[in-house]
């Protein structure tokens, strides 16, 4: 079940909200737990058992780590918990990738398992890992109720697409939380904006990307148009889902962390990764980069740390070599910025610095979305005009004209300009009243337009289901 669907918007979510707010205080967590388990069962009935096994393993390990705190057994239990959690992730997500590469390296003929990747396994595994590690570090009290811990792992707003919520963030909310009309209204606003980003921008840009892939009349300009469209699509697709998750969290009194902060206005690749998929970046920083020594080590060791983190980041997104190359490419850019480019970039005009960031990001996402390394290389060759393609074509001009308005809206929407304009209007006399009157109308209109798109059965993929 996806958020941007009629079934979710007009059947599942209203029923959950009714059941939740009519339930007595002591039963609210139970309502959310049952709703979350049904949500996952609806999309992955078999793999619900896998998620329950992973959650129960972490829960029991947490109890024993707390019991043997300060003794050598606690460390062994932590290792045991990590082995179980990471082992399940590796088996179900990377088994075929590993088997394929073993066959190539050793000329063997192991049959692939052809496992269907469980939806959301990368997200809920990282939440489980953060819990057991923070219990071991004594940064959070152990959760003695399996029902509450399972709710943390399976909570449907952020189960399939994040943000990656740490137990420390929601520990207090699991025990007791407050509800208010102001908070609920803020959640509705955030949810509808995220839904509109997903359906009205990401999905439409996705149509352009699909048209490019099916086209037999590609040109150099068409490749660049596709690169721009996909760069915008993945941002609005993923940030839209994050907005919806954060908004739904507010419905039920939970506060989730922000996951995006206008990454396309960054002035360096380093800054870009402080703004893009923030919950993943901070997870790797706190649970991998810093434990490896961070930047408080010798230069060779620091380079090793960066390499490991970005290799892991690439593999987290998918079991394919293009994801590995994508992650290592960012590692190289970050190293270059630290030692060579930082002083050079500081002397350039802002628009050139921004061009450098967007250019690198667009090329990286081309690699990210490629079917294979060979596909990525041939596409990059075409983008640089080295594949014998014409600079432009009639079909390219047609799609450029057809999608110009949507692309322009997406470019503006990926910046803080709409937010700044609204804040400026609020500071003007009667501006706040105008916004307060217009906001419900605009949000209602957006919801109706989105509904029309979904009823029409329009193109409605979700990119991060792949990862």
Would you name the residues annotated as active-site residues? 317
Residues near 61 by beta carbon (within 8 Å), at least 6 away in sequence: 77, 78, 80, 81, 84, 132
Could you tell me the two tokens for 331? Answer: 């590692």
Alpha carbons within 13 angstroms on the beta-carbon side of residue 131 total: 31
Output the CA–CA distances (angstroms, integers) from residue 330 to 153, 200, 354, 357, 466, in the order listed.
Answer: 30, 30, 16, 11, 20
Scanning the structure block, which residue is given the tokens 């400026």? 424
CB 81 within 8 A of CB 58: yes
Torsion of CA 86, 91, 93, 94, to 10 degrees: 100
Q: What does the chain come to in residues?
A: 467
CA–CA distance, 458 with 467 (Å, rounded to integer): 23
Can you count the helices (H) and strands (E) in the chain? 23, 0
- Any idea what the Cα angle at residue 361 is, between residues 159 and 96, rounded to 5°? 50
Alpha carbons within 13 angstroms on the beta-carbon side of residue 224 total: 16
CB 108 within 8 A of CB 102: yes
């Amino acid at each position: 079940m996806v958020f941007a669907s009629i079934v979710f918007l007009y059947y599942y979510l209203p029923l959950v909200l009714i059941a939740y707010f009519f339930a007595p205080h002591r039963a609210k967590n139970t309502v959310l737990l049952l709703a979350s388990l049904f949500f996952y069962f609806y999309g992955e009935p078999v793999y619900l058992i896998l998620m329950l096994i992973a959650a129960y393993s972490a829960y029991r390990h947490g109890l024993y780590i707390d019991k043997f705190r300060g003794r050598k057994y606690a460390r062994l239990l932590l290792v045991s918990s990590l082995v179980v959690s990471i082992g399940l992730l590796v088996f179900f997500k990377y088994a075929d990738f590993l088997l394929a590469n073993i066959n190539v390296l050793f000329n063997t003929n192991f049959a692939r398992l052809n496992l269907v990747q469980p939806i959301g396994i990368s997200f809920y595994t990282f939440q489980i890992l953060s819990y057991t590690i923070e219990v071991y570090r004594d940064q959070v009290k152990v959760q003695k109720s399996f029902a509450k811990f399972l709710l943390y792992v399976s909570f449907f707003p952020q189960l399939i697409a994040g943000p990656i919520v740490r137990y420390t963030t929601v520990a207090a909310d699991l025990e007791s939380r407050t509800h208010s009309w102001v908070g609920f209204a803020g959640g509705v606003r955030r949810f509808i904006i995220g839904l509109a980003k997903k359906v009205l921008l990401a999905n439409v840009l996705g149509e352009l990307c699909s048209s490019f892939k099916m086209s037999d009349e590609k040109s150099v300009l068409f490749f660049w148009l596709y690169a721009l469209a996909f760069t915008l699509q993945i941002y609005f697709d993923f940030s839209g889902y994050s907005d919806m998750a954060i908004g739904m969290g507010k419905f039920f009194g939970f506060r989730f962390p922000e996951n995006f902060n206008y990454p396309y206005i960054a002035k360096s690749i380093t800054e870009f990764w402080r703004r893009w998929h923030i919950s993943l970046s901070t997870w790797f920083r706190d649970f991998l980069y810093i434990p490896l020594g961070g930047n408080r080590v010798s230069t060779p060791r620091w380079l090793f740390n960066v390499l490991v983190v970005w290799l892991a980041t690439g593999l987290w997104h998918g079991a394919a070599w293009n994801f590995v190359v994508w992650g290592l490419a960012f590692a190289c850019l970050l190293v270059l910025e630290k030692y060579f480019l930082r002083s050079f970039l500081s002397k350039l005009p802002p628009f050139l610095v921004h061009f450098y960031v967007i250019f690198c990001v667009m090329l990286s996402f081309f690699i990210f979305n490629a079917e294979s390394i060979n596909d990525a290389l041939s596409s990059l060759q075409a983008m640089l005009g080295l594949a014998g393609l014409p600079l432009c074509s009639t079909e390219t001009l047609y799609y450029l004209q057809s999608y110009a308005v949507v692309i322009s809206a997406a470019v503006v929407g990926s910046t803080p300009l709409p937010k700044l304009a609204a804040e400026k209007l609020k500071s003007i006399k009667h501006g706040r009243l105008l916004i307060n009157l217009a906001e419900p109308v605009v949000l209602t209109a957006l919801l109706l337009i989105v509904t029309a798109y979904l009823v029409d059965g329009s193109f409605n993929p979700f990119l991060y289901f792949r990862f």
